[in-house]
C-alpha cells in the first residue's frame, strides 16, 4: 500500500507494523508528529500498546528501559535537547543490553534555539553504545525502523534511527507501507530471556566490581562488531521480503572513481544529482552514503576508499576543536591503509542551512582543485 | 504474621551497615507484598545493600535504575506488565530521600500525576548516605552532614514530601517508621488494595549517618515520632488526613541529644526546632480535623 | 549454582554479557563483621527473687495468661505446697519487688496465685518426683514450715513422719489466722495434697512431752519447726486476772470452735498481726473493740491492709498509749489503766521509740483484755548441743543446725515471721536434707539453687526439672526496672479484688477477700512485663536487619541466631522489651 507520508508519520507507521507494546515519549519539534500519530493509533486501538505520556525525555527513556527490561518491545522518539537530556540513560540502555529502538530527528543544539537539521545532537551520543543509522528518505525511515527492531533484538543492543529535521520529518513523500502480515512473517516475535520475571527473580544492572566490568565492556564491543554483519543481513532479508535492499553503506560509481564524495542522511540526495552531473562531464567521481554510523562499518568503507585519490566528506555536524565527525571517523578508519586517500572534510549546512546541489558541487570542485586540504575542518557556505 | 527467616524475600549476607533502617523497611515491605513483586531501585544505599553482580539479596526481581528515575522506571515496568496481562504483579519503587526529594522528584511527580499503579516507598535516612552523608532536602534543619558542617549546619526545614504527593491527589500517601513494623506492613497491604500511585515515606535510621550506635537505631526512630518530629499518618486522595500513632509528645531535645549529628546544637537552636515541630504538629492536627468537612468530588 | 558459594569467572568467555544476578548473597558471611554478639539469656525477674517461698512467679503468671491454669498450679506446686494459702495470707513481697510497680502498679501476683489454686480442681494429684529412697525423716511441727519440708521430702522419695502437738495440723494457719482470712476448708485441702504423697501426720504428739527427743534419733534426719507460740506478758499488775487473755490463745480457742465470752467491750494491747486478727475476731463475736498501741499508726508492725480493714470494720485505734495496770473487781478484770506515750528517737529498728508521758494516765472500761504484744519460741525440748541465740535456733541458709542431721526452720529459726518465709525455709531444709541423705554437700549447689542474688531456694533448680524454655535461669542477674524497654508497655489498670460488704462482716467468719474473676486475672496477667524471660514476642526477630534470627521451629520454643550473618548491631538486645537477651564479647 502506497501512502504519501511525512517522514515522522513513516516512523509511526513502522512502529505500528512492528507491533510495539510500549511507547513513552515527550514532544519536541521536529519529532512531535511521531508522537501525535502514535497517540492516535493507540487511541483508536489499531495499535495495542501502552503509551506513557511522560514528563520528560529522561523519563521516556527510563520507562522504555524499564519496559524493555520487563520483556516488551518499546519505542521512543526525540530530538536534540531531548536526546541530550537522555544522555545518562542511553548508557543504561546499551549497558543493560536492551533492544530498544529510538528515532532521533536530527536538530541543532541550543543555544541559540534552532529547530532545524543538524546531526550534532545524535553524533554527540556516539559513545553511548547505541547503534546509529542515518537515513535519506521517508521510505528508508519506515524500512529502517523495522530493520532496527530486527537488528536490535538480534544483537541485544539499542538502535537509534536518525533523519534530518524538516527535510525528512516534515516533508511528504510517497511511501510503500508493507502489509502487516508480511512484517510479522519477516520480523521474529519479541521473545527474550533475561527479563524481569517473578517466577525466576533476578536483579538487573546492579553493582559490578572491577574484576568483571572490563569483560562486560569487551562483550559490548564484541556485540557492536558483530552488529555490522547483522545490519547487512537485515538489509538482505528485508530485500527478500519487501524488495528494497539496504546495507551499511551505499555506493554509486565508486568502482572506477578517483574521487569519492561521502555523505549521510538527506545530504545524499543533492549529492546524487551532483555526482550524476559530474560523471556526465567525465569526472571520475563516485558517491558513498554512510548509513550505519555505529558500529562504524570500517571494512566496508575501507574497501571502497582504499586506493582512491581523494575523499570528500560533507558533515552537517561538528565536533568542536576537531571538525566534521564523519570525516574524522573515516580518517581514523583508514589511517593504517597504505593506500589511504587524501581526505577533505567539509562542514556545512549547520542549523538547517540548505545544502544545495550548487553547494555540493562547489565543495567537490574546491577539493578537486587542491592537492591537499588546507586544514582539518574546511567550511563551506559561510557568509563571505 | 509469623514467617520463617528462610521464607523472607530478603536474604542474609546483604551489604548494609550494622543496624541499617533502610534494610528493615525493605524487609517489612516485602513481607506485605509477597513474591509477585518487581522492585525498582535507583542509586542509593540499596544499590549496595542488594549485593554486587552476580548476586542479589532479594528473592524478587530487581531493576536497578538511574538515580533520578525511580518513578519513570516503575511506570515502565508497570506498563510492560500490564500489557502482558500481569496486572496482579506489584511494582515497588524503592528509593532513598535523595532519589525522591531531590533528583528523582520530577520523575516521581510525573508518575504520581499520571497516577501510575505503583507503590513508591521512600526510605528516608535524611541525607545522601551512599555517597558519604551529604545533605539532601530531607535533611532536618540544623543537622550536621559532610556538606553542612556543624559550623554551618543545614538551614531551612525538611521538605514536606507528603504534602507534595498529596497535592498530586495521589490516592494514598502515608508516613511510617521502622520502629512500627506492623504499621508499615499494614500500610503496604492497604496500598496493594488501592489502584494508582501509593506513596509511603518511611523514616529509616542510619547509624553512621546519624552518628548513633547501631543498637539505638529503632529507639531513635521511635523517638522521632514520639517527639512529633516525624508524625505517622495517612492522607487519602490528597485530602483526608488520619494520624495513626499517638505521640507521647516528648520534648525534641530527647531525640536530638540521642544523635551525634545534632551534637552541636545550642539550647536556643533546640528551642527553635521545638517551635517548628510544635507548629507543624498543630497544622497536622488541623488537617486531620478538617476531615469532617471533606466532600467527595462530584463524579 | 549453590547459594552459599561465591561464583568465580575464570575466563573472559565465562563472564555474562548482562548484569543479571545468578545467586543470592548468602555466600557472604557477614558474621565476620561482628565484634560483639547477642545471646538469648533469661534472667531473674525481681518477683521471683522477691517471693520468699521461691515461687516461679513470672512462669505461673505467663501460664495463667495462656489460660493454662493447671500448668500454672503445677508450677507453683513445684516450689510451694500452699498456693491457696499463700494466695490469701501472704504479704506478697513479690508485688513490692514487681517492676511493674514502678510503671503503674504491680501485677496482682498474689490474687493470681489464689485464682490459680482455687481454679484447679482438688482431684489433680501431685506426683512424686523420685522413687522411694528408703530413708526416713522426722518433722516436728506441722506449721507451714514443717509441712513444706514434709511435702518436698516426700516428693523426693523419702519417708516422712510429722509429729504435731496439736490435734490438727497447720500450726498458725489453723489456730492463728482466722477463718475470715483463711477458710479451714482451703487449708485442709492443701494439707490433703501433702498427705496424699504418703506423709504421715501424727497429731497430739508433742515432742518433749508425749514423745521424747531421743525417739527422733531413729530417723535418718530431723527437721524441727515448732514456731513461736508462747505469748509474751506485758508484766503489769493484775495481768493474771480473769478476762485477760493472750492473743494467740484467744484465736486458737475461736478456731477450735470453743465458746469464748468477751462481754461488750474488748481492749486489745499490741500492734502486730495477732493483735489485729484478735481485734477483728472479737469484733465478729459482737464485742466493741479498741486497739491500744504504744507508737503511732506509722510504726504499727501489722500488715497495713489488715489494719485498714480492721478500722473499716469498726475497730477503734487508740495510738500512743501503753498499759499501766489491769483494773479489777475482785479477780475479774473491769478495765485497764493506760498512759500516753510520745515518740522519741529512733531505736535500732529505725522506728521511733515510745516514751512514757508521766501523769497522763487514764482508764478504759473493758470486759475482756487481750494481750497481743508478740510470741516467743519454746526451745526447751531441744538437746543442748543445738545452739540458740536470742530465742532462735542458729541455722545456715539451708536450715542446718549445729547438730549434723538436724535442721530447723520457720518462726523458731528465722527472723522473718511469716508464712512465705516459713515455706521457703522448709523447702531449703528439704533440699539440704535430701543432699545430706545422699551424702552430697549443699554448699556446692547454693549458687545454683538460690533465686537471683538473695532469693529463696528453688526446688526446680535443684532437681533441674525441665522448664524447657527457661533452662538457663541459673543466671544471677536480676532484671531491674531500668532494664525494661518501656516503649513496649502501656499503662493499664490493676485488677482489684472485691471484698465482702462491711455490713456482712458481723457475727460471722465469711471470707473477706473474694478473689479475682477470670477476666480480671487475664487483665493482670497481661500486665506482666515478664522481666528477663523470653515470651517469643518476636521483637528481636522482626527488627533484625540481617534476618539472622530464626524461629527454632513450629513446635519448639525460642530462636536461633545465625552467626554466619549476624553483624552484631545489637538492636535485638536493645529492643527486647524484657531484657531476655544480652550482648557478649566475641
Ligand atoms: C495470729 C497470726 C496471724 C498471722 N498472719 C499471718 C499472715 O496473714 N501472713 C503471714 O505470712 N504470716 C502470718 N503470721 C505469721 C505466720 O503464721 C508464721 O510465721 C508461720 O505460721 C510460721 O510457721 P511455722 O511452721 O514456723 O510455725 P507454726 O505455724 O507456728 O507451726 C508450728 C507447729 O508446731 C507445733 N508444735 C509446737 N511445739 C511442738 C512440739 N514440741 N512438738 C510437736 N509439735 C509442736 C505447733 O502446734 C504448730 O502446729 C501470723 C502469725 C500469727 C500468730
Ligand atoms: C545522576 C547521579 N548523580 C549522582 C549520583 C551519585 N549518588 C549515588 S547514590 C547518591 C545519594 C543517594 O542518596 P539517597 O537517595 O538519600 O539514598 P541513600 O544513599 O541515602 O540511601 C548519590 C548522590 C548518581 N548515582 N547519579
Ligand atoms: S549508610 Fe546508612 S542507610 Fe546506608 S547501608 Fe549504611 S546504615 Fe543503611
Ligand atoms: S512484671 Fe511480671 S515478671 Fe516483672 S516483676 Fe512483676 S510479676 Fe514479675
Ligand atoms: S525480644 Fe521478645 S522474643 Fe526476643 S528475646 Fe526478648 S522476649 Fe524473647
Ligand atoms: Mg538518603
Taking only the tens place, the pLDDT of each residue in C90-107 is: 999 999 999 999 999 999
Rg (CA), chain B: 18
Domain count for chain B: 1
Candidates B37, B64, B106; nearest CB to A55: B106
Q: Which three cell numbers stand for residue C474?
A: 541459673
Range B76-90 average pLDDT: 98
Q: Which three cell numbers stand for residue A336?
A: 593504517
Domain count for chain C: 4
Residue of A nearest to B73 (CA): A63
Q: Same structural domain for residues A25 and A116?
A: yes
Helix and strand numbers (H, E) in chain B are 11, 9
- Domain-located, residue A106: yes
Q: Residues of C100-121 as b/e, b for ≥16 C-beta within 10 angstroms?
A: bbebebbbbbbbbbbbbbbbbe
CA distance C179 to C512: 9
- Domain-located, residue C1: no
- Domain-located, residue C296: yes
Beta strands C288-293; C316-319: pairing state: parallel
- Domain-located, residue C129: no
Residue of B nearest to A91 (CA): B66
What mean pLDDT value characterizes chain C?
94
Closest CA to C28 of C62, C3, C57: C3
Asked if omega into C197 is within 30° of 0 (cis), the reply is no
Q: Residues of C181-200 as b/e, b for ≥16 C-beta within 10 angstroms?
A: bbbbebbeebbebbbebebe
- Distance from C32 to chain B by nearest Cα, in Å? 11
Contact assignment for A97 to C17 by CB distance below 8 Å: yes
Nearest ligand 3 atom to alpha carbon B96: 3
Q: What pLDDT shows up at residue B292? A: 54
- Domain-located, residue B203: yes
User: Which chain C residues touch B if contact means CB-CB below 8 Å?
Assistant: 7, 16, 19-30, 33, 487, 538, 541-543, 545-551, 562, 564-565, 567-571, 573-575, 583
The burial of A226, by beta-carbon neighbours within 10 Å (0-12 exposed, 13-18 middle, 19 or more buried), is given as middle
Contact assignment for B2 to C538 by CB distance below 8 Å: yes
Q: Same structural domain for residues A135 and A271?
A: no
Q: Name C96's Cβ contacts closer than 8 Å, sequence gap at least 6.
A: C50, C106
Long-range contact list for B269-277, CB < 8 A, 24+ apart? B269/B142, B272/B142, B273/B140, B273/B141, B273/B142, B276/B141, B276/B157, B277/B227, B277/B228, B277/B229, B277/B252
CA distance A305 to C152: 110
Q: Same structural domain for residues A145 and A287?
A: no
Quick check: A191 contacting B, CB < 8 Å?
Answer: no
**Within 10 Å of residue B203's Cβ, how many Cβ atoms?**
27
Q: Which three cell numbers stand for residue C8?
A: 568465580
Strand-pairing partners, residue C581, are C40
C-alpha angle C335/C336/C340, rounded to 5°? Answer: 145
Q: Same structural domain for residues A63 and A94?
A: yes
Residue of A nearest to B50 (CA): A206
Q: Which three cell numbers stand for residue A148?
A: 532496527
Identify the CATH number of the domain in which residue B147 sits.
3.40.50.970
CA distance C154 to C277: 33
CA distance A142 to A17: 9
- Please determine, for residue B298, whether its predicted confidence score (pLDDT) is greater than 70: no
pLDDT in tens, A113-125: 999 999 999 999 9
- Domain-located, residue B39: yes
CA distance C342 to C364: 19
Query: Cell 499501766 identifies what position?
Result: C324
SS3 category, B18: coil
Range C123-142 average pLDDT: 93
Q: Same structural domain for residues A84 and A128?
A: yes
Q: Same structural domain for residues A261 and A222?
A: no
CA distance C29 to B287: 48
- Domain-located, residue B198: yes
Range C542-562 average pLDDT: 92
Q: Same structural domain for residues C487 and C581?
A: no
CA distance A359 to B202: 64
C294 close to ligand 4 (CB < 6 Angstrom): no
Name the percent of chain A lying above pLDDT 90: 100
Query: Cell 555536524 identifies what position?
Result: A317
* Confidence band for B261, pLDDT divided at 50, 70 and 90: very high
- The dihedral through the CA atoms of B173, B177, B181, B182 has a sign that is negative
- Domain-located, residue C90: yes
* Confidence band for B7, pLDDT divided at 50, 70 and 90: confident
- Domain-located, residue B102: yes
- Please determine, for residue C2, whether its predicted confidence score (pLDDT) is greater than 70: no
* Confidence band for C13, pLDDT divided at 50, 70 and 90: very high
Q: Same structural domain for residues A231 and A307?
A: no
Closest CA to A93 of A127, A129, A39: A129
Residue numbers of the domain that contains C504: 46-124+480-525
List, as ranges, residues with CB under 5 A of the ion ligand 6: B 96-97, 125, 129
- Domain-located, residue A79: yes
Q: What pLDDT shows up at residue C470? A: 44
Alpha-carbon distance values, B229 to A250, B19, B212, B251 (Å) = 68, 21, 17, 10
Quick check: A42 contacting B, CB < 8 Å?
Answer: no
* Confidence band for B70, pLDDT divided at 50, 70 and 90: very high
- Please determine, for residue C166, whether its predicted confidence score (pLDDT) is greater than 60: yes
Candidates C9, C19, C22; nearest CB to A205: C19
Q: Same structural domain for residues A138 and A212?
A: yes
Q: Same structural domain for residues C265 and C371?
A: yes
Q: What is the DSSP string of C385-422?
A: TS-EETTEE---TT-B-SSTTEEE-GGGT-S--SHHHH
What's the CA-to-centroid distance between B131 and ligand 6, angstroms? Answer: 9
pLDDT in tens, B194-251: 999 999 999 999 999 999 999 999 999 999 999 999 999 999 999 999 999 999 999 9
* Confidence band for C5, pLDDT divided at 50, 70 and 90: confident
Nearest ligand 3 atom to alpha carbon B17: 6
- Domain-located, residue B8: no
What mean pLDDT value characterizes chain A?
97
Range A108-113 average pLDDT: 97
Interface residue of C1, C3, C14, C17 to substitute, partner A, most A CBs within 10 Å = C17
- Please determine, for residue C8, whether its predicted confidence score (pLDDT) is greater than 60: yes
Contact assignment for A202 to C16 by CB distance below 8 Å: no
**Global pTM?**
0.91
- Please determine, for residue B297, whether its predicted confidence score (pLDDT) is greater than 60: no
Range A218-246 average pLDDT: 98
Strand-pairing partners, residue A159, are A101, A131
Beta strands C136-140; C159-163: pairing state: parallel
Name the percent of chain A lying above pLDDT 70: 100
Beta strands C368-371; C375-377: pairing state: unpaired
- Please determine, for residue B294, whether its predicted confidence score (pLDDT) is greater than 60: no
In this structure, are residues B45 and A72 in contact, taking their beta carbons and an 8 Å threshold?
no
Residue numbers of the domain that contains B268: 21-296
Q: Residues of B80-90 as b/e, b for ≥16 C-beta within 10 angstroms?
A: bbbbeebeebb
Residue numbers of the domain that contains A329: 249-379
Identify the CATH number of the domain in which residue A92 sits.
3.40.50.970
Q: Which of C3-7, C114-118, C420-424 has the lowest mean pLDDT?
A: C3-7
Query: Cell 552532614 identifies what position?
Result: B145
- Domain-located, residue C15: no
Q: What pLDDT shows up at residue B75? A: 98
* Confidence band for C507, pLDDT divided at 50, 70 and 90: confident
Nearest ligand 1 atom to alpha carbon C148: 25
Name the percent of chain C lying above pLDDT 90: 89
**Within 10 Å of residue C212's Cβ, how many Cβ atoms?**
11
C165 close to ligand 1 (CB < 6 Angstrom): yes
Range C259-266 average pLDDT: 95
Range B86-107 average pLDDT: 98
CA distance C532 to C577: 9
SS3 category, B263: coil
Range C33-62 average pLDDT: 96
CA distance A344 to A314: 9
- Domain-located, residue A384: no
pLDDT in tens, C381-432: 999 999 999 999 999 999 999 999 999 999 999 999 999 999 999 999 999 9
Helix and strand numbers (H, E) in chain C are 18, 23
CA distance C100 to A356: 95
Identify the CATH number of the domain in which residue C552 sits.
3.30.70.20
Q: Same structural domain for residues A129 and A12?
A: yes
* Confidence band for C475, pLDDT divided at 50, 70 and 90: confident
CA distance A225 to C250: 114
Q: Same structural domain for residues C240 and C349?
A: yes
Q: What pLDDT shows up at residue C444? A: 75
pLDDT in tens, A234-249: 999 999 999 999 999 9
CA distance C274 to A149: 102
- Domain-located, residue A60: yes
- Domain-located, residue B14: no
- Domain-located, residue A218: yes
Q: Same structural domain for residues A289 and A312?
A: yes
* Confidence band for B163, pLDDT divided at 50, 70 and 90: very high
Q: Same structural domain for residues C25 and C95?
A: no
C-alpha angle C18/C24/C29, rounded to 5°? Answer: 130
Query: Cell 529492643 identifies what position?
Result: C575
Beta strands C549-551; C406-408: pairing state: unpaired
Q: What pLDDT shows up at residue B241? A: 95
Q: Which three cell numbers stand for residue C157?
A: 522419695
Range A30-57 average pLDDT: 97
* Confidence band for C448, pLDDT divided at 50, 70 and 90: confident
* Confidence band for C469, pLDDT divided at 50, 70 and 90: very low
What mean pLDDT value characterizes chain B?
96
- Domain-located, residue B9: no
CA distance B142 to C267: 75
Strand-pairing partners, residue B56, are C24
Range B163-187 average pLDDT: 98
Q: Same structural domain for residues C56 and C113?
A: yes
In this structure, are residues A226 and A155 in contact, taking their beta carbons and an 8 Å threshold?
yes
Q: What is the DSSP string of C37-77?
A: EEEE---B-HHHHH-TT---HHHHHHHHHTT-HHHHHHHHH
CA dihedral C474, C476, C482, C486 (to 10 degrees): 10
Q: Same structural domain for residues C109 and C221?
A: no
- Interface A-C, measured as beta-carbon pairs within 8 A, has a size of 37
Q: Same structural domain for residues C169 and C287?
A: no
The burial of A13, by beta-carbon neighbours within 10 Å (0-12 exposed, 13-18 middle, 19 or more buried), is given as buried
- Domain-located, residue B7: no
- Domain-located, residue C13: no
Q: Which three cell numbers stand for residue A110?
A: 541550543
pLDDT in tens, C342-372: 999 988 888 889 999 999 999 999 999 999 9
- The dihedral through the CA atoms of A57, A63, A67, A70 has a sign that is positive
Domain count for chain A: 2
Identify the CATH number of the domain in which residue C74 sits.
1.10.1060
Q: Same structural domain for residues A138 and A43?
A: yes
Q: Residues of C427-443 as b/e, b for ≥16 C-beta within 10 angstroms?
A: bbbbbbbbbbbeeeebe
Contact assignment for B10 to C7 by CB distance below 8 Å: no
* Confidence band for C473, pLDDT divided at 50, 70 and 90: low
Quick one: residue B218, left, alpha or beta (phi over 0 = left, psi -120 to 50 = alpha)? alpha
Candidates A50, A53, A69; nearest CB to B83: A50
- Please determine, for residue A270, whether its predicted confidence score (pLDDT) is greater than 80: yes
Identify the CATH number of the domain in which residue A276 sits.
3.40.50.920
Contact assignment for B72 to A66 by CB distance below 8 Å: yes
Amino acid at each position: 500500500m502506497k501512502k504519501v507520508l511525512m517522514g515522522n508519520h513513516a516512523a509511526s507507521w513502522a512502529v505500528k507494523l512492528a507491533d510495539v507494546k510500549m511507547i513513552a515519549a515527550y514532544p519536541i519539534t521536529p519529532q512531535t508528529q511521531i508522537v501525535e500519530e502514535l497517540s492516535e493509533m493507540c487511541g483508536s486501538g489499531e495499535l495495542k500498546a501502552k503509551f506513557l505520556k511522560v514528563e520528560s525525555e529522561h523519563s521516556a527513556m527510563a520507562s522504555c528501559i524499564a519496559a524493555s527490561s520487563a520483556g516488551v518491545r518499546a519505542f521512543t522518539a526525540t530530538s536534540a535537547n531531548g536526546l541530550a537530556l537522555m544522555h545518562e540513560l542511553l548508557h543504561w540502555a546499551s549497558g543493560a543490553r536492551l533492544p530498544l529502538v529510538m528515532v532521533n530527528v536530527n536538530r541543532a543544539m541550543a543555544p541559540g534555539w534552532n529547530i532545524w537539521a543538524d546531526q550534532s545532537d545524535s553524533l554527540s551520543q556516539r559513545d553511548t553504545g547505541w547503534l546509529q543509522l542515518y537515513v535519506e528518505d521517508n521510505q528508508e525511515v519506515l524500512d529502517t525502523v523495522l530493520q532496527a527492531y530486527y537488528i536490535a533484538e538480534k544483537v541485544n543492543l539499542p538502535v537509534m534511527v536518525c533523519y534530518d529535521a524538516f527535510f525528512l520529518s516534515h516533508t511528504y513523500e510517497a511511501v510503500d507501507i508493507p502489509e502487516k502480515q508480511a512484517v510479522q512473517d519477516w520480523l521474529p516475535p519479541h521473545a527474550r530471556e533475561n527479563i524481569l520475571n517473578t517466577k525466576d527473580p533476578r536483579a538487573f544492572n546492579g553493582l559490578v566490581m572491577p574484576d568483571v566490568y572490563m569483560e562486560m565492556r569487551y562483550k559490548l564491543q564484541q556485540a557492536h562488531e558483530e552488529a555490522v554483519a547483522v545490519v547487512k543481513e537485515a538489509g538482505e532479508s528485508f530485500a527478500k521480503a519487501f524488495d528494497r535492499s539496504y546495507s551499511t553503506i551505499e555506493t554509486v560509481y565508486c568502482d572506477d572513481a578517483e574521487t569519492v564524495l561521502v555523505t549521510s542522511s538527506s545530504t545524499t540526495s543533492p549529492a546524487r544529482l551532483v555526482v550524476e552531473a559530474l560523471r556526465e562531464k567525465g569526472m571520475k567521481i563516485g558517491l558513498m552514503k554512510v548509513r550505519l554510523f555505529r558500529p562504524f562499518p570500517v571494512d566496508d568503507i575501507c574497501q571502497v576508499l582504499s586506493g582512491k585519490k581523494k575523499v570528500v566528506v560533507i558533515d552537517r555536524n561538528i565536533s568542536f576543536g576537531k571538525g566534521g565527525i564523519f570525516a574524522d571517523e573515516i580518517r581514523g578508519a583508514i589511517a593504517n591503509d597504505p593506500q589511504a586517500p587524501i581526505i577533505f572534510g567539509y562542514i556545512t549546512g549547520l542549523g538547517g542551512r540548505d545544502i544545495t546541489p550548487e553547494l555540493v558541487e562547489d565543495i567537490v570542485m574546491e577539493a578537486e582543485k587542491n592537492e591537499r586540504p588546507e586544514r582539518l575542518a574546511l567550511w563551506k557556505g559561510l557568509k563571505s | 504474621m509469623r514467617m520463617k527467616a528462610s521464607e523472607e524475600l530478603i536474604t542474609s549476607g546483604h551489604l548494609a551497615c550494622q543496624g541499617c533502617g533502610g534494610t528493615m523497611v525493605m524487609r517489612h515491605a516485602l513481607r506485605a507484598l509477597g513474591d509477585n513483586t518487581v522492585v525498582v531501585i535507583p542509586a542509593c544505599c540499596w544499590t549496595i545493600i542488594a549485593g554486587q553482580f552476580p548476586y542479589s539479596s532479594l528473592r524478587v526481581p530487581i531493576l536497578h535504575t538511574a538515580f533520578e528515575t525511580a518513578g519513570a522506571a516503575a511506570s515502565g515496568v508497570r506498563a510492560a506488565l500490564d500489557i502482558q496481562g500481569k496486572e496482579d504483579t506489584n511494582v515497588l519503587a524503592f528509593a532513598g530521600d535523595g532519589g525522591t526529594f531531590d533528583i528523582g522528584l520530577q520523575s516521581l511527580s510525573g508518575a504520581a500525576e499520571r497516577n501510575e499503579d505503583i507503590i513508591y516507598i521512600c526510605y528516608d535516612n535524611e541525607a545522601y548516605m551512599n555517597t558519604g552523608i551529604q545533605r539532601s532536602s530531607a535533611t532536618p534543619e540544623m543537622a550536621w552532614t559532610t556538606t553542612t558542617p556543624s559550623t554551618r549546619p543545614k538551614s531551612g526545614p525538611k521538605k514536606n514530601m507528603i504534602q507534595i504527593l498529596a497535592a498530586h491527589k495521589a490516592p494514598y500517601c502515608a508516613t511510617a517508621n521502622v520502629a512500627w513494623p506492623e504499621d508499615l506492613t499494614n500500610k503496604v497491604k492497604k496500598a496493594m488494595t488501592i489502584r494508582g500511585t501509593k506513596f509511603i515515606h518511611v523514616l529509616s535510621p542510619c547509624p553512621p549517618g546519624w552518628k548513633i550506635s547501631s543498637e539505638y537505631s529503632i529507639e531513635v526512630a521511635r523517638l522521632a515520632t514520639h517527639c512529633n518530629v516525624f508524625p505517622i499518618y495517612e492522607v487519602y486522595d490528597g485530602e483526608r488526613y488520619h494520624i495513626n500513632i499517638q505521640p507521647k509528645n516528648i520534648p525534641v531535645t530527647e531525640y536530638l541529644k540521642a544523635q551525634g549529628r545534632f551534637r552541636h546544637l545550642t539550647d536556643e537552636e533546640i528551642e527553635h526546632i521545638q517551635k517548628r515541630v510544635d507548629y507543624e504538629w498543630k497544622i497536622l492536627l488541623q488537617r486531620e480535623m478538617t476531615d469532617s468537612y471533606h466532600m467527595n468530588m462530584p463524579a | 549454582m549453590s547459594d552459599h558459594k561465591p561464583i568465580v569467572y575464570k575466563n573472559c568467555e565465562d563472564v555474562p554479557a548482562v548484569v543479571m544476578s545468578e545467586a543470592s548473597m548468602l555466600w557472604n558471611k557477614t558474621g565476620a563483621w561482628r565484634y560483639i554478639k547477642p545471646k538469648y539469656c533469661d534472667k531473674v525477674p525481681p518477683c521471683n527473687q522477691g517471693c520468699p517461698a521461691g515461687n516461679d512467679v513470672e512462669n505461673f503468671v505467663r501460664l495463667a495468661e495462656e489460660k493454662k491454669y493447671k500448668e500454672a498450679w503445677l508450677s507453683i506446686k513445684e516450689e510451694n505446697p500452699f498456693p491457696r494459702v499463700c494466695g490469701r495470707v501472704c504479704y506478697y513481697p513479690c508485688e513490692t519487688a514487681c517492676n511493674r510497680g514502678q510503671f503503674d502498679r504491680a501485677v496482682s501476683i498474689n490474687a493470681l496465685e489464689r485464682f490459680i489454686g482455687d481454679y484447679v480442681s482438688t482431684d489433680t494429684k501431685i506426683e512424686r518426683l523420685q522413687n522411694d529412697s528408703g530413708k526416713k525423716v522426722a518433722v516436728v511441727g506441722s506449721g507451714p514450715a514443717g509441712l513444706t519440708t514434709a511435702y518436698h521430702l516426700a516428693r523426693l522419695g523419702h519417708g516422712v513422719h510429722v509429729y504435731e502437738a496439736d490435734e490438727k495440723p497447720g500450726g498458725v494457719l489453723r489456730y492463728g489466722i482466722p477463718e475470715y482470712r483463711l477458710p479451714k476448708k482451703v487449708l485442709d485441702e492443701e494439707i490433703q495434697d501433702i498427705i496424699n504423697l504418703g506423709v504421715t501426720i501424727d497429731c497430739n504428739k508433742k515432742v518433749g512431752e508425749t514423745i521424747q527427743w531421743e525417739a527422733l534419733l531413729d530417723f535418718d534426719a530431723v527437721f524441727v519447726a515448732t514456731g513461736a507460740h508462747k505469748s509474751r506478758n506485758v508484766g503489769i499488775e493484775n495481768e493474771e486476772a480473769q478476762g485477760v487473755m493472750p492473743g494467740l490463745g484467744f484465736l486458737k480457742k475461736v478456731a477450735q470452735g470453743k465458746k469464748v465470752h468477751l462481754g461488750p467491750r474488748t481492749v486489745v494491747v499490741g500492734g502486730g498481726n495477732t493483735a489485729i486478727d484478735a481485734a477483728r475476731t472479737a469484733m465478729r463475736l459482737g464485742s466493741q473493740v479498741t486497739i491500744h498501741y504504744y507508737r503511732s499508726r506509722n510504726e504499727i508492725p501489722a500488715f497495713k491492709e489488715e489494719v485498714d480493714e480492721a478500722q473499716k470494720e469498726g475497730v477503734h485505734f487508740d495510738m500512743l498509749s501503753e498499759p499501766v495496770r489491769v483494773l479489777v473487781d475482785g479477780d475479774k478484770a473491769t478495765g485497764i489503766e493506760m498512759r500516753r506515750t510520745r515518740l522519741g528517737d529512733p531505736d535500732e529498728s529505725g522506728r521511733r521509740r515510745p516514751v512514757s508521758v508521766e501523769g497522763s494516765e487514764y482508764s478504759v472500761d473493758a470486759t475482756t483484755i487481750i494481750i497481743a504484744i508478740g510470741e516467743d519460741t519454746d526451745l526447751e525440748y531441744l538437746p543442748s548441743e543445738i545452739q540458740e541465740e536470742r530465742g532462735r535456733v542458729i541455722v545456715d541458709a539451708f536450715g542446718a543446725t549445729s547438730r549434723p542431721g538436724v535442721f530447723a526452720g520457720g518462726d523458731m529459726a528465722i527472723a522473718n515471721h511469716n508464712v512465705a518465709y516459713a515455706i521457703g525455709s522448709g523447702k531449703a531444709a528439704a533440699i539440704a536434707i535430701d543432699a545430706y541423705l545422699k551424702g552430697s554437700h549443699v554448699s556446692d549447689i547454693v549458687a545454683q539453687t538460690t533465686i537471683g542474688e538473695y532469693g529463696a531456694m528453688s526446688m526446680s533448680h535443684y532437681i533441674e526439672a525441665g522448664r524447657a524454655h527457661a533452662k538457663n535461669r541459673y543466671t544471677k542477674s536480676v532484671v531491674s526496672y531500668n532494664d525494661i524497654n518501656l516503649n513496649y508497655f502501656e499503662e493499664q489498670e490493676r485488677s482489684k479484688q472485691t471484698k465482702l460488704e462491711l455490713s456482712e462482716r458481723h457475727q460471722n467468719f465469711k471470707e473477706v477477700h473474694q478473689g479475682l474473676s477470670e477476666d480480671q486475672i487475664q487483665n493482670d496477667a497481661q500486665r506482666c512485663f515478664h522481666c528477663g524471660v523470653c515470651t517469643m514476642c518476636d521483637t528481636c526477630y522482626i527488627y533484625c536487619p540481617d534476618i539472622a534470627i530464626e524461629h527454632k521451629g513450629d513446635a519448639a520454643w525460642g530462636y536461633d541466631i545465625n552467626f554466619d550473618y549476624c553483624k552484631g548491631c545489637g538492636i535485638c538486645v536493645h529492643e527486647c522489651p524484657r531484657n531476655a537477651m544480652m550482648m557478649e564479647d566475641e
